[in-house]
Structure 1
Amino acid sequence: MRPSARDVQRRLALVPYLRSKQGVSVDEVAREFNVKPRVIRKDVEQLMMTGVGAHGGELIDIDLFAFEDDDRIYISNADFMTRPMRINGGEAAALIVALRALRDAAGHAHADVVDSALSKLQGAVGHQTPESVAVVVEPVDHDVLGAVRRALGAGRRLEIVYTTASRDAVSTRQVDPIAMFVREGHEYLDAWCHSAEGQRFFRLDRIERAEVLDTPVESRTVVPRRGDAGFFSSGEGALQVELEITPAARWVVEYYDAEVLDDSSDLWRVSLVAGDEAWVRRLALRAAGSIRVLAPDTVRSDVTEHVRSALAAYDGLTPATEEF
């Protein structure tokens, strides 16, 4: 099976991490890289076949006894992966622009760290520094931004008054903050919304008021989302969906940066963040049976009903009974 770009990036980062933490447990590595332990085990098995050649002494060496018996990872003969990373002028310029955007959004708490990184990077690239490039981030109410940061830092629930531009509606919600990020000039909060009973994006400049509550955030398995998928523009109504895909639809994993939950058979189970129910419905319908919605139940029922209605429109065909 061909690894995705995300798999390759993780494995490249995994080698220096393991060299600096000899004897680390598989579970700890999985938590650090935000994947399941089985993914790390598979990565380690791949690393054992990686090196500068194909013979003894040229491949990365893993202590198999510790790995198989104790679930601990000891790595050696991987010095070739410790050479400093080299980047070209274009990559350096992109990093500088991104750090400037982060500097504007980070506030005073992390400004020193960002400034230090910027100074080192600009010193390294010299005249190639993109001084004429600026990233403008929409201003956010100071009180709102402060409340969101306090809630994230303290692990507390937020009550927000939020304006949904697409429906011209104002609502009061209680959310459990997960992470903040900047996307296309706007700051966003990724949070578990108790009204929607799911993960949602909230643009900070559309939060009219935010109050940190005494209630701790609930413990649940959630994954911070980067918000960089092609369908992110669908807005704050984004939701997590689970799909079953056939080999013909495996392009979904790479194209939409989906997480593979189970690839033990030809039918893969994957999870991705969708803009809204309508987007998921269009994806499933145009896949012509290669994609089946598993969760949430409301989306699965919606897709199934549309498939039945479409088939019933053809004379002589019985409405579908299978779920899509």
Structure 2
Amino acid sequence: MDRYERILALHRSLKTARYPVPIKGLMEELACSRATLYRDIAFLRDALGAPIESEGEGSIRYDQKEAERFELPGLWLNSDELHALLAAHQLLDRTGQGVLSSALAPLKGRIESLLAQQAGGKRWPVERVRVIASGVRRRDELAFRLVASAVLERRTLAFDYLARSTNERTHRTVSPQRLTHYKDNWYLDAWDHDREGLRSFSVDRIQHAKLLDGTARDLPDAELNQHLASSYGIFSGTPKGIATIVFSAKAARWVADEHWHSKQEGRFLPDGRYELKLPYSHAKELLMDVLRYGADAEVVAPEALRQQARTLLQLALSSYER
């Protein structure tokens, strides 16, 4: 830990402490000698104006009245925070010239300014932090802006929707609930007034969007979470069952570290394979993720889901038997 991070950690320890902090404990926390710690305390107090006061022998604290008002001057970030800021910069940079680029440009500029302050005049090689998109679909910037405005301004929205699965075009009037980013693509969770139910719409399939004057109907968070977050994937709903998938010992090293669902249950089997259980509503997306593991994944239950996986694999095999 360098001096910069020690001083930041020291400040945060004193800022959050309810009681005097022992010098010995600070030495252990900051991994430094007593002499180094006292130099840092002196710099924090004398150069930065921290309201440090001694509490008997061997402990210090911030003055209780001044602690709430005192903050370190300028920008102070530890290594993890700095790395997160670099990643955020790359995420913004990835928007390119399309959706959100103009709206986020000031924020991207502000992050660059913060990074410059943190570097003390040096330039951070931000190009060495990479965020690679996968499966990003083309989006209409105007449609995205209207959808986002409807969500934030709580207004009803009308649009034509071209369903990807059927290529059928329908007209929808909805009360937007949430704008969701999932697997590098955007979805609108909304109450469909004509169908009287919650639906999820892929924003890239929304056309001719129009903000209406009506106030959007707000649904309780509990209802939204139950319907939209209770089962696997973006195409969620009331779970139809619990899927059980067994992965080979080779794939287990990856799957065991993956987050598939907030209510998933996983365990290693005695032979090194990995068993994953999770709720699902619609089988299509779940099977797409399972089948990408090929022969290293087996759908065990329920039987109907197992048969669907078998059918998909047989259809794929038939394409190679011509």
- TM-score range with shorter-chain normalisation? 0.3 to 0.5
